[in-house]
Amino acid sequence: MSATPSQPHARGWYDADDAPGTRDLNTCIHCGLCLTACPTYRELKIEPDSPRGRLYLMRGLAEGRIEPGDDLVHHLDLCLGCRACETVCPAGVPYGRLLEETRGQLERRRPHGGPARGLGRIALDTLFPNRGLMHWAASMLRMGQSGGPLAGLVDAARRRGWLPDFAARGLELTPPLLARDERRLERIERELPRGARLERTKAALVFRPAGAPRARVAFFTSCVMDVMFPRINQDAVRLLVLAGAEVVVPHAQTCCGALHAHSGLRHTAKRLAQRNVTAFGAGEQFEYIVSDSAGCGAALRDFGHLLGETLQAAAAGAFASRVRDVSEVLATLGLPAPTGSLTRDVNTPLRVAYHDPCHLAHAQRVRAEPRSLLRDLPGAHFVELPNSDWCCGSAGVYNLTHPAMADAQLDNKLQSIASIDADVVVASNPGCLLHMERGARARGSHARMVHIVELLALAHPPPRPS
């Protein structure tokens, strides 16, 4: 809920520009159910590093009892923003929104952090909203992965410790990148189901199914998925067409703004939200706006709140109401009988587990649909992962800025995976995939981390060329 005359902005230290709402801040009933749901509290057992404790600090700012010193900023920064506390909260505290609003005030009015944080702000403001720059950066990284002078320079800088820790860690996380032409969504034209076709218009790519469409949907490509996991985007669109959807991909779409909102860059997040609402025409011509990234989907669903006090409030609300995860849409429309199998060999099914990405389970409340799709896969044996909705520690760029806490959460996740001897763990969020895959490699685990779309694509392979 955005602040309105019946939901006044909190004041005290806060100013009136996008401050938390007084009623929201006062909703907490101090029951303590959030404590064991919180990853940082489970690790540290410190009240200020629990949701309840952080809410107390936010209220202290609003009531003028405390000032935003280094300790307060540290406790708020250490939160992963997983929103597990919202799932267990009986009072319905909108904790994630309050945290982002408070971080926005702190980022704007009390700039903090060193050169690394400053570089991060520049990247978020200039790189992520610009699709061309994102692809250029991916192409440069790919050159570093494929040998040659640039790769040698990067390796030397890493070995000699010239790279900042966050940069070295970021390079470790980066998956093998495809060439620019292979990242293009149009590339799947030859893989579409028989009778389906691609139409190119000035405003969008339109993928039409063979018969009368069962639904008309828009597809959100996501800046990170577009450059780091383009094959997942391609397969997601192909599967949607296979399920009978007409899929429209607007050219004017941009970054969802999730990383900006999490980092306190609320004004940038709002500008990106406005651009997307305009690009998709408020979504009114579509049954669904489909995302295959949990973090992006959560941000898109929050546009109604984020833009609730702007001229685009009604359009943003209409847009947000149509946002769905790809698993929800595929489960709703239904896929034809699989023609492929995931079996490891003739007699051994693949042991498949599912990790609940925080922003899919806790923010979007999507849990059943991915599991229903996975249980139907031929050649797979679905196994429930213990503590499947505990945060893996990725949390956007958190694993780069707070590596110790991120790795503590990762250790818990990898222990759960080892306890069930999973061959494949599905994690439908780019950050989770990168963070968990890096951790699994470092620990010598045989488990592979994949997106749900990758398994569905194997079970529903494209038609063979005629």
* Mean pLDDT across the chain: 91
The two tokens of residue 466 are: 């005629």
For residue 384, pLDDT beyond 90: yes
Confidence band, pLDDT 50/70/90 cuts, at residue 2: very low
Return the pLDDT at 409: 97
Model confidence pLDDT, tens digit, residues 251-268: 999 999 999 999 999 999
For residue 3, pLDDT beyond 60: no
For residue 156, pLDDT beyond 70: no
For residue 465, pLDDT beyond 50: yes
Q: How far apart are CA 436 and CA 89, in angstroms?
A: 28
Q: How far apart are CA 301 and CA 316, in angstroms?
A: 9
Which one has a higher pLDDT value, 77 or 159? 77
Percent of the chain residues topping a pLDDT of 70: 92
Return the pLDDT at 275: 96
pTM for the predicted model, two decimal places = 0.92
C-alpha to C-alpha distances, 381 to 135, 354, 384, 422, 454, nearest whole angstrom? 37, 11, 10, 10, 16
Tell me phi and psi for residue 249, to 5 degrees.
-120, 95
Q: Which domains can be identified in the chain, with CATH numbers? A: 22-109 (1.10.1060.10), 115-173 (no CATH), 180-333 (1.20.1050), 350-459 (3.40.50)
Long-range contact pairs involving 166-171 (C-beta distance under 8 Å, separation at least 24)? 166/116, 166/400, 166/401, 169/399, 169/400, 169/403, 170/400, 171/141, 171/144
Confidence band, pLDDT 50/70/90 cuts, at residue 4: very low
Model confidence pLDDT, tens digit, residues 68-104: 999 999 999 999 999 999 999 999 999 999 999 999 9
Return the pLDDT at 1: 38
For residue 61, pLDDT beyond 90: yes
Q: How far apart are CA 131 and CA 457, in angstroms?
A: 26
Model confidence pLDDT, tens digit, residues 126-146: 889 999 999 999 998 888 877
Return the pLDDT at 265: 93
Which one has a higher pLDDT value, 147 or 280? 280
Return the pLDDT at 161: 65
DSSP conformational letter for 21: B
Residue with tokens 């900023």: 73
Confidence band, pLDDT 50/70/90 cuts, at residue 311: confident
For residue 180, pLDDT beyond 90: yes
Return the pLDDT at 115: 62
Tell me phi and psi for residue 206, to 5 degrees.
-125, 115
Buried/exposed code over 63-98 (b: 16+ C-beta within 10 A; e: otherwise):
eeebebeeebbebbbbbbbbbbbbbebeeebbbbbb
Model confidence pLDDT, tens digit, residues 215-226: 999 999 999 999
The residue-averaged pLDDT of 412-432 equals 96
Confidence band, pLDDT 50/70/90 cuts, at residue 376: confident
Strands annotated E in 42-201: 197-200
Lowest mean pLDDT among 109-118, 188-197, 279-288: 109-118
